[in-house]
Amino acid sequence: MTVSPMLQLDQIIVRYGAIMAVQGVSCEVREGEIIVLLGANGAGKSSLLRAILGLTPVDSGRVWFQGQDVTGWRTEALVREGLTLTPEGRNVFQSLTVKENLRLGGATMAREQAVETLERMLEQFPILRERYDQLAGTLSGGEQQMLAIARSLMSSPKLLILDEPSLGLAPVIIEEVFSLLSDLRDQGTTIMLVEQNVAQSLAIADRAYLLELGRIQREGPAASFLEDLNLHEIYLGGEG
């Protein structure tokens, strides 16, 4: 039996004026997997993510989520449907406490469900329980990333999209982040990941897409990307 993809992109084009940042991208994310989107700076990865979440208009093409055409939907409506983005740079609310950041993440949920989910996040991220009443701006980079991911998970997403979660983190913290993402997948969260850290992202991913100058240049099992010695030349050859 053929299983429909959770997320399916059909010939997505994104323009900024005369510049075509995404040029007819088609790809899919299946339930229960991690897919990683690779590419150099300027390849169109973040533009594609923003188009999926309704943060940037789709010039043409369609976005399908769980069998629904959600092209052009408002971001808050997509979040209620179960689609959530953890943006590059973490973007936690620096002047709010850890508790307040988490509660904002569950703002679309019923109160009882939000309380239950909050407790689950504190169990999943014990460092956040320790820092519960601390201002988010005083956390370390790794702690802020954990908070950003936990805040996204507060809405109980069916698909969690992350843009460069390891950016600017120390190697030991990067290991923790990738271990966490692998655990989340094993617990049933479907993940779409944009990441510059090629080896570690491919190590936890099921499948991968390589984006170059706004187009998909290659797709397949993550293991086959790891075996390809030319991948690094392709990846590093793009312009920022």
* CATH number of the domain where residue 108 is located: 3.40.50.300
Q: Which tens digit of pLDDT belongs to each residue from 119-162?
A: 989 998 999 999 999 999 999 988 998 999 999 999 889 999 99
Buried b (16+ CB within 10 A) or exposed e, 37-53: bbbbeebbbbbbbbbbb
| Per-residue confidence (pLDDT) for residue 210, from 0 to 100 | 93
* Residue 1 located in a structural domain: no
| Per-residue confidence (pLDDT) for residue 108, from 0 to 100 | 76
Domain extent for 89: 7-236
> Quick one: which of 234, 125, 222 has its CA closest to 183?
125
pLDDT(71) > 90: yes
| Per-residue confidence (pLDDT) for residue 168, from 0 to 100 | 82
* Residue 2 located in a structural domain: no
* Residue 50 located in a structural domain: yes
Task: Give alpha helix (H) positions in 87-207.
Answer: 98-105, 111-124, 126-130, 141-153, 171-186, 198-204
| Per-residue confidence (pLDDT) for residue 233, from 0 to 100 | 57
The mean pLDDT value of the chain amounts to 89
Strand 68-69 and strand 60-65: the pairing is: antiparallel
pLDDT(235) > 60: no
| Per-residue confidence (pLDDT) for residue 237, from 0 to 100 | 47
62-to-6, 69, 85 alpha-carbon distances in Å = 14, 7, 19
Torsion of CA 193, 196, 198, 199, to 10 degrees: -90
Q: How many domains does the chain have?
A: 1
Mean per-residue pLDDT, 164-177: 87
Q: Which tens digit of pLDDT belongs to each residue from 99-116?
A: 999 999 888 778 888 889
* Residue 173 located in a structural domain: yes
Q: Which tens digit of pLDDT belongs to each residue from 35-70?
A: 999 988 889 999 999 999 999 999 999 999 999 999
**Residue 230 pLDDT class (50, 70, 90 cuts):** low
**Residue 207 pLDDT class (50, 70, 90 cuts):** very high
E strands in the chain? 7-16, 19-29, 34-38, 60-65, 68-69, 83-86, 159-163, 190-194, 207-212, 215-221
* Residue 108 located in a structural domain: yes
